[in-house]
């Protein structure tokens, strides 16, 4: 088995439907599975451009079989194809009595992994609308509520982001279920929905909504807690500038030739600068307009101030085909074959130990997903714990942000830069299956914890690094806003008031959703060969892969649509604004309620729906299916977290909302109490 062929010998059948199903199939094929695509009646993808059939995600190199439902032999032919599959991907949109159901004819859930990908889930009662496409899902699922300029107008991300994320989640769930099947646990049905994927992406905002802030999340490229952090005009374009520390601010005052601001109490702290953010942005813009983008970047990056420019998808595509994860074999050395599992697990990753190093979003969320699938995840923290433990708002003394990315893990405090901490970490490595880290390029090597050294201790180890530009790429700070700009996403958001980023952290979350898939594949390879892997996940390449491959020419990706303000909110209509105005025949949308406008448009056969703000998203009945799990914090029994986006019928994901105290597991796992602060 080569390093790439983690799924060699696995046969996947995709019954063509949603783009998310094709993304799922494509990722499994990329990992070495044999793929057969089945087109029934030549139906196009529902509510999506026909051109998506020719997109690289559609896996044109796979075997294609075309079936006609009217053919008397249809059932037998489909049965013959499906019988040979280990994993079958279907995209159900059948409805009975207001409930979404799936057509599983010819499939065997006792022996096969059946991955059903749909808008709201096959068990969803009375979904908000039938057969929604990407635009409508962005409006319903919270993405639109958080994306737009500082004028408050919402903006669509002109990329099928939700379908792509859903495809990654479907592939992860398929590999988790395959692991159970190969351990003797039989097949099962996977219920993967676009809505629940979208729901998962809003974790950063959950604490604010539960604390009473339900609006005002559309803020261009600004950060809600830090300034300056925005897109600033230059003499020939734009520069993205993000300060992450007070030192960044002090350095910036020198760059813009305003050293007196370093001593001005009005700008002394991040909180102070946020309180006068308009004034701060005006000061930076006065400087940025006098230089070119290239000059601005050179000056900012010379001082290690996180910065970038707004690239187009065409520019990103010209740089070459992005590879979101580079997979390498473990360094040569003894590699005993793995032993068979002792029996079917209760959860897919039972018995797997993960060591997680790194703060904030990408690595921690990937680790939390692995914990949801049953892994023992040990979070390695510095003295005092990760900074985001202090991020507001709190739920009974616990950061809601931290809980969403770290619930269900153990906590060990180690200083990896000192011998004692390093030795304790290396002892844990000997017992681990995965080391997952989210740090700047080269950080682990500089601490003496590179892949070669760890594989010498544990040849079966999966060594997975998440960084901005790859392990051998730039070590400059990789902030989500900068990555979105450089990888072409911001260019796909048409904000009137200047560049706007995707409201959800597409770069961080993209890597967080990709990593569990790659880790599961590498664990299967380690089980079959005894040899580990090095997984190099680049946030930049992940976003470029999500957003640019196949759409390099800058033309619109999503169908015609417009967003209009009403008397009580915003309405998204699947029509151009000029055509919408013609259909309305002079009626002004701002004078109507959203419900009345949607009803009027339905009468002239225009699909339209109100945009939901985040509190309305969380209140949807469909959100309560598996999504938001709210636990009272009595006796530290839980927090408020959003469930993992995997629904497995035989081995459901774990529901553990507890947050470990800093260093709570030091004594049990290292034999020593956590070091003093």
Active site residues: 508
Residues 6+ apart with CB under 8 A from 52: 19, 45, 58, 160
Q: How many CA atoms lie within 13 A of 333 on its CB side?
A: 18
Backbone angles phi, psi at 563, to 5 degrees: -125, 125
- 3-class state of residue 443 by DSSP: helix
Backbone angles phi, psi at 629, to 5 degrees: -115, 110
Residue 381 DSSP label:
E
Task: Give the DSSP per-residue string, 166-226.
Answer: HHHHHHHHHHHHHHHIIIII--EEEEEEHHHHHHHTTHHHHHHHHTT--S----TT--SS-
Q: Which single residue is written with the structure tokens 């990896």?
A: 416
Q: Are 395 and 631 in contact (CB under 8 A)?
A: no
CB atoms within 10 A of CB 383: 14
Whole-number Å distance between alpha carbons of 100 and 238 = 46
Determine which helix (DSSP H) or strand (DSSP E) holds 22, and give its type and residue range: helix 19-30
CA separation for the pair 363, 340 (Å, rounded): 29
Q: Which residues pair with 412 in a beta bridge?
A: 380
Query: How crowded is residue 237: how many other Cβ atoms within 10 Å of its Cβ?
Result: 14
| CB-based contacts of 379, cutoff 8 Å, min separation 6 | 356, 364, 367, 386, 406, 409, 410, 411, 412, 660
Rounded distance between C-alpha atoms, residue 665 and residue 396, angstroms: 22
Strand order in the sheet with 410-413: 325-329, 533-538, 462-467, 434-438, 353-357, 376-381, 410-413
Pairing of strands 608-610, 99-101: unpaired
Task: Give the dihedral sign, CA 618/619/622/623.
Answer: positive
**162 and 198 in contact (C-beta within 8 Å)?**
yes
Residues 6 or more apart in contact with residue 314 via CB below 8 angstroms = 552, 553, 554
Length of the chain: 677
Residue 360 — left, alpha, or beta (φ > 0 → left; ψ -120 to 50 → alpha)?
left
- Of 91, 86, 87, nearest to 117 (Cα)? 91
Q: How many CB atoms lie within 10 A of CB 542?
A: 29
Angle among Cα 142, 573, 95 to the nearest 5 degrees reads 75
φ, ψ for residue 441 (rounded to 5)?
-55, 130
Note the helical H segments in 441-593: 443-446, 451-457, 480-486, 506-529, 539-547, 577-584
Say how far apart CA 135 and CA 606 lie, in whole Å.
14
Is residue 464 helix, strand or coil?
strand
**Nearest to residue 467, comparing CAs of 514, 431, 524?**
514
């Amino acid at each position: 088995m080569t390093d790439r062929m983690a799924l060699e010998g696995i046969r996947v059948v995709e019954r063509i439907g949603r783009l998310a199903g094709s993304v799922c199939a494509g990722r499994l094929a990329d990992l070495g599975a044999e793929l057969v695509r089945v087109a029934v009646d030549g139906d196009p993808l529902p509510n999506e451009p026909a051109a998506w059939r020719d997109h690289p995600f559609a896996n044109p190199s796979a075997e294609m079989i075309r079936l006609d439902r009217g053919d008397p032999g249809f059932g037998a032919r489909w049965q013959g194809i499906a019988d040979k599959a280990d994993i079958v991907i279907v995209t159900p949109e059948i409805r009975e009595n207001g409930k979404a159901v799936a057509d599983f004819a010819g499939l065997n859930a006792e022996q096969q992994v059946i991955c059903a990908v749909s808008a709201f889930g096959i068990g969803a009662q009375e979904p908000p609308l039938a057969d929604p496409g990407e635009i409508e899902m962005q409006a319903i699922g919270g993405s639109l509520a958080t994306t737009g300029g500082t004028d408050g107008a919402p903006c669509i991300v002109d990329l099928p982001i939700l379908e792509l994320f859903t495809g990654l989640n479907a592939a992860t769930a398929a590999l988790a279920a395959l692991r159970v099947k190969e351990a003797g646990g039989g097949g099962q049905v996977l219920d993967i929905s676009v809505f629940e994927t979208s729901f998962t992406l809003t974790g950063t905002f959950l604490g604010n909504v539960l604390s009473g802030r339900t609006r005002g999340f559309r803020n261009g490229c600004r950060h809600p807690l830090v300034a300056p952090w925005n897109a600033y005009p230059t003499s020939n374009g734009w520069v993205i500038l993000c300060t992450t520390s007070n030192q960044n601010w002090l350095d910036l005052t020198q760059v813009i030739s305003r050293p007196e601001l370093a001593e001005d109490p009005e700008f002394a702290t991040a909180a102070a600068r946020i309180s006068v953010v308009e004034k701060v942005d005006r000061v930076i813009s006065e400087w940025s307009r006098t230089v070119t983008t290239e000059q601005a970047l050179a000056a900012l990056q010379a001082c290690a101030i996180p910065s970038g420019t707004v690239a187009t998808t065409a520019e990103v595509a010209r740089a070459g085909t992005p590879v979101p994860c580079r997979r390498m074999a473990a360094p040569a050395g003894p590699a005993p074959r793995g032993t068979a599992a002792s029996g079917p697990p209760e959860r897919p990753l039972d018995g797997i130990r993960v060591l997680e190093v790194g703060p904030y979003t990408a690595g921690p969320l990937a680790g939390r997903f692995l914990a949801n699938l049953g892994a023992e995840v040990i979070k390695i923290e510095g003295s005092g714990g990760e900074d985001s433990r202090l991020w507001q708002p709190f739920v009974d003394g616990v950061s809601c942000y931290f809980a969403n990315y770290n619930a269900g893990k153990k906590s060990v405090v180690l200083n990896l830069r000192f011998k004692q901490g390093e030795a304790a970490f290396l002892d844990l490595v000997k017992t681990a299956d995965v080391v997952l880290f989210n740090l700047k390029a080269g950080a682990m090597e500089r601490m003496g914890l590179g892949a070669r050294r760890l594989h010498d201790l544990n040849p079966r180890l999966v060594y997975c690094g998440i960084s901005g530009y790859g392990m051998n790429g730039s070590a400059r700070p990789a902030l989500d806003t900068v990555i979105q700009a450089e990888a072409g996403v911001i260019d796909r958001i048409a904000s009137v008031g200047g560049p706007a980023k995707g409201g959800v952290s597409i770069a961080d979350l993209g890597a967080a959703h990709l990593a569990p898939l790659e880790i599961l594949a590498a664990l299967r390879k380690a089980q079959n060969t005894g040899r580990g892997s090095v997984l190099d996940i680049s946030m930049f390449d992940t976003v470029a892969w999500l957003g640019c491959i196949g759409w390099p020419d800058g033309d619109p990706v999503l169908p015609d649509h417009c967003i209009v303000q009403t008397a009580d909110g915003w309405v998204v209509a699947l029509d151009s604004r000029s055509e919408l105005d013609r259909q309305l025949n002079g009626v002004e949308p701002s004078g109507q309620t959203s419900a009345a406008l949607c009803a009027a448009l339905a009468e002239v056969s225009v699909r339209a729906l109100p945009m939901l703000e985040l509190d309305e998203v969380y209140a949807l009945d469909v959100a309560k299916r598996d999504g938001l799990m709210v636990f009272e914090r009595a006796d530290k029994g839980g927090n408020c977290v959003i469930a993992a986006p995997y629904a497995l019928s035989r081995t459901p994901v774990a529901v553990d909302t507890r947050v470990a105290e800093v260093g709570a597991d030091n004594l049990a796992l290292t034999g020593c109490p956590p070091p003093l602060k």
